[in-house]
Structures are given as C-alpha cells and as structure tokens.
Amino acid sequence: MRNKLQQFGLIALGILMGVAISLNFSAVAQKERASAPLPIEELRAFTEVFGRVKSDYVEPVDDKKLITQAINGMLTGLDPHSAYLDQEAFKELQVGTQGEFGGLGIEVGMEDGFVKVVAPIDDSPAARAGIKSGDLIVKLDESSVKGMTLNDAVKRMRGKPNTPITLTIVRKGETKPIVVTLTRAVIKIQSVKSKLLEPGYVYFRVTQFQEATGENLARAIDRLFKENQGPMKGIVLDLRNDPGGLLNGAVAVSAAFLPQGTLVVYTDGRTEDSKMRLNASPENYLRGRNREDYIRKLPAEARNVPMVVLVNAGSASASEIVAGALQDHKRAVVMGQPTFGKGSVQTILPLGNNTAIKLTTARYYTPNGRSIQAKGIMPDIPLDDGSADRLAGLRLREADLTKHLLDNDKDKERNEEKADAAAAAAKYNFTPAPRPKDVDEKTLIPEPGEIVSKNDYELNQAIAFLKSRGGVKTN
C-alpha cells in the first residue's frame, strides 16, 4: 500500500534562506497503483556505474552518499522545483510555514549553476543589506557556488542566529563583484500588513501565504473598514515580491474578496489525486475541524468596493493564483508587471526514514482555464518598472530557469498575451503618470512606523486609478 500523499502547497516558488519551501499538507486517500515495468537494461547500467565508482574512484565513497546523489540528480534533472529532501530539509519543510525561521531572508532559484535572487523578504537581513532581485550569488564565504545544488547552497546560508556569512554577488550594471557580509537572524515574517492610506482608501500587503494569513487579513479588513468610519472607495492588495506559500492561504485571500463558492483555481495532472477544483468555501481555507469561518463575517463592502491588485516579476505561485482569480472574475484590476510564471504543482511524497521527494505532479489553471506556466499573469494596466535600461537583466521569471516546464497550451504564443499599455489606457480611460527617473532609492524605504513609502510609484498609480473610478467598480 502506498504511503499517503502529502499535497504540496501548489504554490511555493523556490527555497527561502533558512527554511525549505512553504507547503500545505493535506492527506489524499490511499490507493493501490500498478507499478510500471522496471527498465532492466538501464538499471543494469546504473548498477555497473555504482560498482565502478565504489571500486575505482580515487577515494572511498559512502554508499548512502552515492545513492542520495543519484536520487537527487534524478529529480533535479526534471525541472527546477522537483527535489530530494533529506531528513533536515524535510523537517524544515514541515515547520517552515509558521512564520518564523533562521537564515538570511531571500527567495532564490538556480540559474546557470549559480544562486539567483528572486526577491528579498521584507525586514530581513538580506533586505536591510540591499540584496536585490536578480542578484547572482557566486560565492558563499570562500566557497564557489558553481557545482552546488540549490539545497546545498541553502544549507550553507543557514546557521545559528547572530553568525556572519559573506556573499559575493554579481549584479547587472556593476563592473565588479559586490562583497557583502550579513548576520544570520531569526526571520519573523508578518504575512499581512495594512493601513488606511486616507479616508476611503485601504491598503493590504501580503508578504507571504502562511497558515494564519487568511485570518490575519480578515482581522485587518474588519479593523480598517471600521476605522474608516465612512464609505470605502478603494482597496489595494499588494502582492509584489510575494513568493507564494500555502494553498489554503491563497484561497482564503481570494475568498475575502469574492462571492462564496466562486472557483479560485483548479489543477490537472496525470493522476486522479492531482485533479482538484478549489472554490472560495470554508472547507478549502479553514485548517482543522470546528474552526470559525472568519471570511463569512467580513463586511459585504469587501466584495464590492473597487479594487486594484499590484504585482511584479517577484509575485509567484500563490500570488499568481490570487491575482488570476480576481482578474478572471473581474473583481479587481491587476496593475504592475507580468508575474513570475510558476504554474506547476509539487507533491511531497514521504519515503520513510524521515526523507521525502518533492515531485511536480500537475499544472494549475485560473478560473477561466489559463495556464500561467512560464508566462505569468499579465497586468490589465502595465506599469513601468524602471528596467528599460540598466536594470533589465534583473528580472527573473520561471521562463528563465533551466529545465522549466513549458506551457502545455500549444496554440498560444506568449507574445499574444503581452500587456498592451495603449489598449489598457483606452479600456479603462486611465493613463499612468510617467515613472520618475533618477530617484534616490533611500526615498523608497518606508519611514519608521510606516509600511509603505509615500514615493511608491506603483501604489500611487493604483490610488490614482481608484480615484478616477469614483467608487464605481470596473468590469
């Protein structure tokens, strides 16, 4: 009898420094599966290679090490997200969604044998040290990253809080490598930040989808709608640089702004276990039995007030599920840049001895049937991200990762879905203001006690758009 499958939170992107990928464990019914015939000739070749290495390699090699590396190579050769999880990685994977872990606080992937930064996490050592999306980490202390697996690199970057590590970084536009020493810390992620920007306009930022994200968002919505003391005119949901997280968190956030029972996402793969349809219903976002439905008590206005969702290239997986659902149901206007494009599902398969494999088992689709794999969510209103010149090489997306899965919709070219600024201006009767040039990056850092900078270009454009609607929802 096969072990129970542990369904991975469809949605996490890569590996966080200090913890493996966030996940959503939900048991799937046990079932017998017929074993495929073993490839005898290929296994014979594997056995021969194993024997030759054991007998002829210049130094003795441990059997466990050889088998582990073989398993890891089998999985990492499939796509950027499948991997073997040893005891340490599997343990951290199971506890990594609590919102607290040790490390540097950066979301990463592999590119050309090096570690490439997708996005630093808010308020982390990496963010405070100025690590940027697109930075290529080439050395950890005195060790070259070339040749390491992503898990190996992550292990080296993890460590006890208050211990230092030196990163050597190659950055687009810089003539010399950048050497920066960071101090490891316990990363405490506040997954929901919120603020009443001005009377009638409220801002919610989701930094990552964790176990309590839905509940935290519901509390923030209730509090700020009461604090407003008047009609709400506009909502901004900020998913920029949100790398993903738990599936139930994505469904919960979507459910806060959609009618009960609305389709949020569905998945499709080769097995029956990989075919799911998830609606905005309590059974899909409440974790555990006899828990109160925190979404049901939200003010009705939350589902009707004009809304903008902000996204960029760092918005991945769970973020893309939410943006795609709100966009397909015409609940919100998506503004920003095309998202990361991770549209695949990973399942955790325990192997015994506290190890597991993380295997890509399905693709996910938005309610209208769009696959975003290697394409991303295209914004309704594109905004200049300031990368037209020296920053162009910093944008990292799924399509840039080696061995990424292709979109299985063969009839559509990616170019057909490019955001069209002129068409958006005509449809919404709104033209974004030009992005200011030569802005001092220090002015983009929120002031003490604030969660967003007053010079945040994308947020300012979102508010300008909502004000142009006059409190009337745009379809």
Catalytic positions, please?
A: 317, 328, 342
Between the alpha carbon of residue 19 and those of residues 88, 210, 242, 318, 427, the distances in Å are 10, 13, 16, 18, 43
Contact yes or no for 17/126 (Cβ under 8 A): yes
Tokens of 247: 């599936």
Cβ atoms within 10 A of the Cβ of 124, count?
A: 22
Phi and psi at 395, nearest 5°, equal -75, 120
Contact yes or no for 4/27 (Cβ under 8 A): yes
Question: Rounded to an integer, what distance in angstroms lies between the CA atom of residue 344 and that of residue 373?
Answer: 7
Q: Which residues of 90-120 are buried (b: 16+ CB within 10 A; e: fewer)?
A: bebbbebbebebbbbbbbbbbbeebbbbbbb
194 burial via Cβ count (<10 Å: 0-12, 13-18, 19+) = buried
Contact yes or no for 340/376 (Cβ under 8 A): yes
Contact yes or no for 135/173 (Cβ under 8 A): no
Question: Rounded to an integer, what distance in angstroms lies between the CA atom of residue 1 and that of residue 77?
Answer: 28
DSSP class of 125: H
DSSP letter string, 84-119? EE-HHHHHHHHHTTSSEEEE--EEEEEETTEEEEEE
Cβ atoms within 10 A of the Cβ of 192, count?
A: 23
Who contacts 399 (Cβ-Cβ below 8 Å, separation ≥6)?
A: 341, 374, 375
Question: Rounded to an integer, what distance in angstroms lies between the CA atom of residue 201 and that of residue 210?
Answer: 25
Q: Which residues of 218-237 are buried (b: 16+ CB within 10 A; e: fewer)?
A: bebbeebbeebeeebbbbbb
Residue written as token pair 């997280």: 245
